[in-house]
Amino acid sequence: MIKYSAAIVSHSFWFNEFQQYIELLNKGLTQGEINSQAIKDNIFKQSTVARIQDMLKIITHRIDSLDQDYMSLFPRLDIANQRLIDLITVMKSNQLFEEFMYEVYRDELVLGDTELHDYEIEAFFSRKQAENQQIASWTDETITRLMGVFKTFVREAGLMKNQGSFDQVSRPLLDLDLEDMLRNKDEHQILAVLLGR
């Protein structure tokens, strides 16, 4: 049985920090050196040491899902595609979010439906609760928080815009080098999400 986690409710998208972390890695610093600087000099401008440590744990986990090809391509991409790589790492590190992107966001692209309403997201979570005992045991508050985090991440990745009563869904302009790399790595599910196939 697939194990799901709701820990993402306490996470942020952290794009600026993600971008800065990759830049430092590409300059030759190790994760240990970056983490030490982050705590000692607060290079990521977090409010507390505990927040720095939480952020570092999550960002390093996300970055660990990337290989050197991603790291080399990242600085050559525009900001919009760098945000997509951050989103890809979230998908790779959270099964439920990946399923949300495939079953909800991708479906909007496939159907040509540019309006994503909360009831569609609620239907996704209801299906998951019916399919999985672990998700069924989560409180309504946890589900509500997950809905909020998922929408925030997709918005921060530039794929949705809050219009009040719905979110306006948009198709990303995927960089051809990123698309080729994903295809060469057999990342079919991620490509399906980003291309709406």
Q: Helices 118-131 and 140-156 meet at what angle, rounded to 10?
A: 130
Q: Where are the domains of the chain?
A: 10-65, 94-195
The confidence score (pLDDT) of residue 1 equals: 60
List the structure tokens of 90. 């979230």
CA-CA distance, 115 to 106, in Å (whole number)?
12
Q: Which helix (H) or strand (E) holds 160?
A: strand 160-162
The confidence score (pLDDT) of residue 41 equals: 81
Whether 190 and 170 have beta carbons less than 8 Å apart is answered as no
SS3 of 65, please? coil
How much is the pTM? 0.91
* DSSP character at residue 115: E
CA-CA distance, 164 to 160, in Å (whole number)?
12
Compute the half-sphere exposure of residue 108: CA atoms within 13 Å on the CB side of its CA. 22
List the structure tokens of 4. 């799901």
Task: Return per-residue pLDDT of the chain as tens, 197 residues.
Answer: 678 888 888 888 899 999 999 999 999 999 899 988 888 888 788 778 888 888 899 999 999 999 999 999 999 999 999 999 999 999 999 999 999 999 999 999 999 889 999 999 999 999 999 999 999 999 999 999 999 999 999 999 999 999 999 999 999 999 999 999 999 999 999 999 999 88
The confidence score (pLDDT) of residue 50 equals: 84
CA-CA distance, 71 to 63, in Å (whole number)?
9
